[in-house]
């Protein structure tokens, strides 16, 4: 009975991580698409923040491909850390002056999701499983 309870808890935890991975992946995929749909405006915005305009392309690529990778479960831990880095830069360059409420509270929630995935990974319905040795 103890073993079944642990299996149930593990299954529930993995299901929660899968949902977190999918939601974070979809959010970043959409942000990446949006950046590329208005890249000229995005580059102008980055420049207005004191960042190089080319950084908009790099962030757009990280968001787009990182979103796709999270959705399929490829390089989950690495991509999650990249998202955390992007979010920290966004907070300190664009959102800090707005304050927490109405400013960067969503970014903090996404950072929490990213750190969770970076620490725990996500094995359910994940391409990464094909690249791992069997571990018990």
Phi-psi map region of 126: left, alpha, beta (phi>0 left; psi -120 to 50 alpha): beta
pTM above 0.85, yes or no: yes
Average pLDDT, the chain: 92
pLDDT digits (tens, 9 = 90+) for 39-71: 999 999 999 999 999 999 999 999 999 999 999
Kindly give the residue spans of alpha helices, DSSP state H, lying in 38-104.
Answer: 39-48, 54-72, 76-90
- 126 has pLDDT over 70: yes
CB 60, CB 42: distance < 8 Å = yes
- pLDDT at site 136: 47
- Please tell me the least confidently modeled range out of 16-25, 51-60, 93-102, 109-118: 93-102
- pLDDT at site 129: 82
**Cα–Cα distance, 79 to 68 (Å, whole number):** 10
- pLDDT at site 3: 65
């Amino acid at each position: 009975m103890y073993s079944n309870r642990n299996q149930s808890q593990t299954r529930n935890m993995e299901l929660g991580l899968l949902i977190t991975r999918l939601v974070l992946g979809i959010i970043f995929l959409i942000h990446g698409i949006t950046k590329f749909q208005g890249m000229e405006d995005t580059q102008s915005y980055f420049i207005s923040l004191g960042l190089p305009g080319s950084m908009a392309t790099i962030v757009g690529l990280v968001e787009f491909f990182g979103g796709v990778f999270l959705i399929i479960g490829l390089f989950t831990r690495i991509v999650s850390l990249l998202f955390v880095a992007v979010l920290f830069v966004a907070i300190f360059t664009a959102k800090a002056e707005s304050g927490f409420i109405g400013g960067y509270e969503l970014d903090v929630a996404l950072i929490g999701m990213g750190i969770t995935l970076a620490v725990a990974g996500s094995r359910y319905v994940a391409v990464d499983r094909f690249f791992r040795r069997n571990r018990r």
